[in-house]
Amino acid sequence: MFTDWAQALEAESLRLDPTSTQQIAAAARVTARHSHDKDDLGLLLDVLGLPTDPDTLTALLPLIPETGDTPVTITPATEAIDVPVVPLTFSNPVQELLDWATAHPAATVRNRAHRITADLAELTERRDTEAAQREAEEKVARAKAELERAQEELRTVKAGTRTTAAAPTAARTGGSGRSREELAAIRSWARENGHQVADQGMVPRRIQEAYDTAHQATARKAG
């Protein structure tokens, strides 16, 4: 009971109207900012006696923290997560963001974090596979180049060998058809057997034939 008439008169002047529309809207917005999802928002509005019609819910959905419109401080959930998080090697801010999303109490945020992590893992694997493929192709190209150089060197060596082997044959086909070494051996044999031959020039055919006959007879005896 009021003992001061001034207070009593002031109390009588207060309006007894119910909560205004602006106050209801403000309460609904605050409730949305503390909701986890649409269902949670509907339950909270119903408990608080606030409007839960579809139009109101649609207008409040962007204010739910999981949409990221209004950041709020949320205690990390301790419940188990079904999908394992694959550790990846990327920048610290991204890892911190994924860690936050993985521990988020909203299932939609956690699922999104898992999808992002899986996509990053797939991209990392594809990058490594393509890098390995490029390295293998470069090795094959280097091996082919080495093989072509080796084949060219082999062809060069074979060509030089054929040229060197053809030189003595050309020397034998000129003149008497015998090499200088054979002619020198014939002259030595002729002198030992009483024949007179010059130190240079052609050896008479009869002496060459006698040399061949003597050596053929020696070969037959040896056989």
Q: Per-residue pLDDT tens, the chain, 223 aa: give them.
A: 445 566 656 656 655 554 567 778 888 888 888 888 888 888 888 877 788 888 888 888 888 876 444 444 444 444 545 555 555 554 567 788 888 888 888 888 888 888 888 888 888 899 999 999 898 889 888 988 889 888 888 888 888 776 665 555 544 434 567 888 888 888 888 888 888 888 887 888 888 888 888 888 776 766 5
Q: Write down the pLDDT at residue 90.
A: 47
Percentages (nearest 5) of helix, strand, coil residues in the chain:
70, 0, 30
Q: Write down the pLDDT at residue 17.
A: 54
CA distance 117 to 132: 23
Q: Write down the pLDDT at residue 162.
A: 66
CA distance 76 to 99: 10
Surface-to-core class of residue 45, CB atoms within 10 Å of its CB (0-12 exposed, 13-18 middle, 19+ buried): buried
Q: Find tokens 């207060």 and name the residue.
A: 14
CA distances from residue 52 to 18, 20, 134, 147, 157 in whole angstroms, order as listed: 18, 17, 60, 79, 94
Q: Write down the pLDDT at residue 107.
A: 87
CB-CB contact of 206 with 223 (8 Å): no
Angle at 162 between CA 161 and CA 163, to 5 degrees: 90
Q: Tell me how crowded residue 32 is: count the other CB atoms within 10 A of its CB.
A: 26
CA distance 73 to 50: 24
Q: Write down the pLDDT at residue 13.
A: 60
Largest CA distance in the chain: 174
